Structure 1
Amino acid sequence: MLRWPRAFLRWPYAFAFCLSVAVGATAIYFSHDLNVGLKDPEGFLGPAYIRLPLLGILLFLVGIVPQAIHRYGVKNTLSGVRTIVRNEWTLKRVAYAATGMVSFYVCYVSYRNLKSYLPELTNTIHDRALLQLDHVLFFGNNPAEVLHSVLGTTVAAQVLAVLYVLYLPVVPITVAAVLVLHRDVTVGAWYATAVSLNWVLGVVSYYSLPTLGPAFYEPQRFADLPENGATQLQMSLLRGAFGFKEDPQGDKIFGIAGFASLHVSVVFTLALFLHYAGIARAIRYTAWIYLGFTILATLYLGWHYIADDIGGLLIGWIAVAVGAWATGNTRWQKRRRLAAEKGTPEVEATPVS
Structure 2
Amino acid sequence: MASIPGDEPTAVVDLDRREPVGGADEPQRHTYLIGVWLTVLAFAMVAFFWSHHVGVGFKDPGGRMFSGKLEYSLSGLVIALVADAAWRWLRTPGGQRSVRRTLGARWTPERLVLLVTGLTAYHLVYFCYRNLKSWDAFNTPRDSWLLDADRRIFGDSPAVMLHDLLGQHTAAYVLMAVYKSFTYLTAASVVIALVFSRTIQRGYVFLVAAMWTWILGTASYYLVPSLGPFASAPQEFAGLPHTSITSTWAEYLSQRQEFLADPTSPTTFVSISAFASLHTGFTALVCFMAFYYGHKWLGAAMAVYLVAIMVSTIYWGWHFTLDDLAGLVIAAVAVAIGHVLVRPPRT
- TM-score with structure 1 setting the length: 0.84
Q: Secondary structure at the match of 1:47?
A: helix
For residue 59 of structure 1, what is the aligned residue in structure 2? 80
Of structures 1 and 2, the one with the larger relative CO (CA 8 A, separation 6+) is: 2
For residue 322 of structure 1, what is the aligned residue in structure 2? 337
Q: Note the C-alpha offset of 1:46.
A: 8.2
Alpha-carbon contact 2:66-2:127 (below 8 Å) kept: no
Q: In structure 2, what residue type is equivalent to 1:248?
A: P
For residue 268 of structure 1, what is the aligned residue in structure 2? 284
Count residues in correspondence: 319
Aligned pairs for 1:193-208 (under 5 A) are: 193-208=208-223
The reply to whether residue 134 of structure 1 matches residue 150 of structure 2 is yes
Match of 1:24 among 44, 47, 50: 44
Aligned pairs for 1:67-216 (under 5 A) are: 67-71=88-92, 80-120=98-138, 122=139, 124-138=140-154, 140-216=155-231
Taking the aligned partners of 2:109 and 2:164, their CA distance within structure 1 comes to 56
Taking the aligned partners of 2:33 and 2:173, their CA distance within structure 1 comes to 40
For residue 349 of structure 1, what is the aligned residue in structure 2? none
Taking the aligned partners of 1:94 and 1:10, their CA distance within structure 2 comes to 14
Q: Deviations over 1:172-207 (max 9, x none)?
A: 200011111222112111000001001110111111
Taking the aligned partners of 2:169 and 2:66, their CA distance within structure 1 comes to 29
Indicate how the Cα distance of structure 1 residues 271 and 64 shifts in structure 2: closer, same or farther if over 3 A, else same: same
Taking the aligned partners of 1:201 and 1:316, their CA distance within structure 2 comes to 9
Q: Deviations over 1:269-320 (max 9, x none)?
A: 11001111113x3322221111010111111110111111111111000000
Alpha-carbon contact 1:72-1:80 (below 8 Å) kept: no
Q: In structure 1, what residue type is equivalent to 2:86?
A: V
Alpha-carbon contact 1:148-1:300 (below 8 Å) kept: yes
The reply to whether residue 258 of structure 1 matches residue 279 of structure 2 is no
The reply to whether residue 15 of structure 1 matches residue 35 of structure 2 is yes
Taking the aligned partners of 1:126 and 1:151, their CA distance within structure 2 comes to 28
Q: Deviations over 1:140-196 (max 9, x none)?
A: 211000000000011111111111111112112000111112221121110000010
For residue 4 of structure 2, what is the aligned residue in structure 1? none
Indicate how the Cα distance of structure 1 residues 70 and 236 shifts in structure 2: closer, same or farther if over 3 A, else same: farther
Q: Secondary structure at the match of 2:91?
A: helix
Q: In structure 2, what residue type is equivalent to 1:131?
A: L
Indicate how the Cα distance of structure 1 residues 15 and 44 shifts in structure 2: closer, same or farther if over 3 A, else same: closer
Identity percentage of aligned residues? 29
Q: Compare 220-229 and 36-45 and name the one that shifted more.
A: 36-45
For residue 225 of structure 1, what is the aligned residue in structure 2? 240
Indicate how the Cα distance of structure 1 residues 327 and 300 shifts in structure 2: closer, same or farther if over 3 A, else same: same
Q: Note the C-alpha offset of 1:227.
A: 2.4
Q: Note the C-alpha offset of 1:35.
A: 3.2
Q: In structure 2, what residue type is equivalent to 1:92?
A: E
Q: In structure 1, what residue type is equivalent to 2:88?
A: Q
Q: Secondary structure at the match of 2:212?
A: helix
For residue 277 of structure 1, what is the aligned residue in structure 2? 293
Taking the aligned partners of 2:64 and 2:239, their CA distance within structure 1 comes to 28
Taking the aligned partners of 1:215 and 1:31, their CA distance within structure 2 comes to 28
Q: Note the C-alpha offset of 1:242.
A: 2.3
For residue 70 of structure 2, what is the aligned residue in structure 1? 49
Indicate how the Cα distance of structure 1 residues 258 and 45 shifts in structure 2: closer, same or farther if over 3 A, else same: closer
- TM-score with structure 2 setting the length: 0.85
Taking the aligned partners of 2:66 and 2:171, their CA distance within structure 1 comes to 27
Indicate how the Cα distance of structure 1 residues 145 and 265 shifts in structure 2: closer, same or farther if over 3 A, else same: same
Q: In structure 2, what residue type is equivalent to 1:151?
A: L
